[in-house]
């Protein structure tokens, strides 16, 4: 008997093709637009109306049921408030990871199952097998870095059809073949839920900041920043300190509202072989005697590593030095194609 699957449809080409493929494979498909954010900002219009219309248009084209799940309240609490608090604490959070953990693969999954769905699906570039998370066949688009906090139970109820394709061109060609209006739609940029607005412009709507000193490796004040909250470790652009060698952010003090920079690319504060992590999450249990790799940023290189438990904390040790480790970002642990889990860098 055909299984009922609820597909999270964002209005983009990937989730559109996901719905089309699953219908073609014989599933009883219901498209769901998750209404997570609708607020506009000065100079930036939230694209939700366009995305909703695009998703609905595809559902009509495919002849599938279509619903809207309004998760705005939960999204604000679980994702946006978390992100703002992390920035205020001087860290660099990843809202996409929290969205996947709290909304798409928890709230959406629970709501879909409560309505009678047996499975959910999204347009992520990833694969699953028996509750394991595997990298996508398209390495350039792989999104498993953002999915490492999803649970084994959720993965057993999840389909990622797009993860099997080696190129984005194949996905767009399928969208054209199915006659979907999103076939040529551009991939979204900017913050996951707001559209084209940058993180600085977004935060300025929620936090008040004061200018402060930018201090170089000799302890000399060389410029003024717009608020320490806006700077992250390893950042080079946007410092507005002119002339000579480029400067890189190596630290900041939120209480003093100071940002510390260096022109020395070999500065010890920029390079690490030990990465302390907290809030560790293992999808299928901790690793046991297997080769491990770590990725410390989306599309960052996979580096050979080991991981040790030190009390309640975990420390990831890399053979090669890692540049610009930013507290608040995630270190994700892989073993070949399998994503084992990871934690938040402290």
Q: How confident is the model at residue 90 (pLDDT cuts 50, 70, 90)?
A: very high
Burial 50-79 (b: 16+ CB within 10 A, else e): ebbebbbbbbebbebebeebebbeebbebb
What structural domains does the chain harbor? 4-177 (3.40.50.620), 208-262 (2.30.30.280), 268-345 (2.40.30.10)
Q: Which helix (H) or strand (E) holds 152?
A: helix 152-155
Q: Would you state the pLDDT for residue 241?
A: 84
Pairing of strands 65-70, 132-134: unpaired
Q: Answer whether residue 296 shows pLDDT above 80.
A: yes
Q: How is residue 327 annotated by DSSP?
A: B
pTM of the model: 0.94
Q: Name the active-site residue from 192, 197, 199, 215.
A: 192
Q: Would you state the pLDDT for residue 3?
A: 97
Q: How is residue 41 annotated by DSSP?
A: B
Phi and psi angles of residue 281, each rounded to the nearest 5 degrees, phi first: -135, 125
Q: How confident is the model at residue 41 (pLDDT cuts 50, 70, 90)?
A: confident
Q: Would you state the pLDDT for residue 292?
A: 98
Summarised one tens digit per residue, pLDDT across range 308-346 is 998 878 999 999 999 999 999 999 999 999 999 999 999
Q: In the annotation, is 192 catalytic?
A: yes
More confident residue, 164 or 189: 164
Please answer whether residues 120 and 159 qualify as being in contact, where contact means their C-beta atoms are separated by less than 8 angstroms: yes
Q: Would you state the pLDDT for residue 237?
A: 85
Q: Would you state the pLDDT for residue 284?
A: 98
Average pLDDT value for residue range 291-296: 97
Q: In the annotation, is 305 catalytic?
A: no
Q: Would you state the pLDDT for residue 192?
A: 61
Q: Name the active-site residue from 13, 29, 62, 99.
A: 99
Q: Would you state the pLDDT for residue 190?
A: 57
Q: Answer whether residue 250 shows pLDDT above 80.
A: yes
Q: How confident is the model at residue 239 (pLDDT cuts 50, 70, 90)?
A: confident
* Ramachandran quadrant class, 67 (left: phi over 0; alpha: psi -120 to 50; beta: rest): beta
Q: Would you state the pLDDT for residue 200?
A: 87
Average pLDDT value for residue range 247-271: 95
Average pLDDT value for residue range 207-215: 94
Residue 301, both tokens = 């290189």
Three state DSSP letters for 57-108: HHHHHHCCEEEEEECHHHHHHHHHHHHHHHHHCCCCCCHHHHHHHHHHHHHH
More confident residue, 191 or 9: 9
Average pLDDT value for residue range 21-47: 94
Residue 286, both tokens = 């901790």
Rounded to the nearest integer, the mean pLDDT of the chain is 94
Average pLDDT value for residue range 127-151: 97
- CA–CA separation, 48 vs 39, rounded Å? 9
More confident residue, 118 or 186: 118
Q: Would you state the pLDDT for residue 1?
A: 84
Q: Would you state the pLDDT for residue 195?
A: 62
Q: Would you state the pLDDT for residue 194?
A: 63
Q: Would you state the pLDDT for residue 43?
A: 84
Q: How is residue 216 annotated by DSSP?
A: -
Q: Answer whether residue 224 shows pLDDT above 80.
A: yes
Interacting residues of 288 by C-beta distance below 8 A, sequence separation 6+? none
């Amino acid at each position: 008997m055909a299984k009922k699957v609820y597909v999270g449809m964002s209005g983009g080409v990937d989730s559109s093709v996901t719905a089309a493929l699953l219908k073609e494979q014989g599933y009883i498909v219901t498209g769901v637009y998750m209404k997570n954010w609708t607020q506009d900002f000065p100079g930036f219009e939230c694209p939700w109306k366009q995305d909703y219309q695009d998703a609905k248009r595809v559902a009509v084209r495919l002849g599938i049921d279509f619903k809207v799940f309004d998760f705005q309240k939960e999204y604000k609490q679980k994702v946006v408030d978390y992100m703002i608090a992390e920035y205020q604490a001087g860290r660099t959070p990843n809202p996409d990871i929290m969205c996947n953990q709290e909304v798409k693969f928890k709230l959406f999954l629970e709501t879909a199952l409560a309505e009678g769905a047996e499975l959910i699906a999204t347009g992520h570039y990833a694969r699953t097998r028996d509750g394991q998370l595997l990298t996508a066949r398209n390495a350039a688009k792989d999104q498993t870095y953002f999915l490492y906090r999803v649970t084994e139970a959720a993965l057993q109820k999840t389909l990622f059809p797009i993860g099997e394709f080696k190129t984005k061109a194949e996905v767009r060609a399928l969208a054209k073949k199915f006659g979907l209006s999103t076939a040529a739609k551009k991939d979204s940029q900017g913050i996951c839920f707001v559209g084209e607005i940058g993180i600085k412009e977004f935060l300025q709507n929620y936090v008040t900041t004061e200018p402060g000193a930018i201090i170089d490796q000799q302890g000399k004040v060389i410029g003024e920043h717009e608020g320490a909250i806006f700077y992250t470790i390893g950042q080079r652009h946007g410092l507005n300190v002119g002339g000579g060698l480029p400067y890189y952010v190596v630290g900041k003090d939120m209480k003093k509202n100071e940002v510390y920079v260096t022109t020395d690319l070999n500065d010890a504060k920029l390079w690490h072989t030990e990465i302390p992590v907290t809030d560790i999450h293992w999808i299928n249990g901790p690793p046991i005697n297997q080769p491990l790799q770590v990725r410390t940023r989306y599309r960052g290189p996979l580096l050979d590593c080991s991981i040790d438990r030190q009390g309640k904390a975990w420390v990831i040790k890399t053979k090669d030095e890692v540049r610009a480790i930013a507290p608040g970002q995630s270190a994700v642990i892989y073993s070949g194609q399998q994503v084992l889990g990871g934690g938040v860098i402290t």
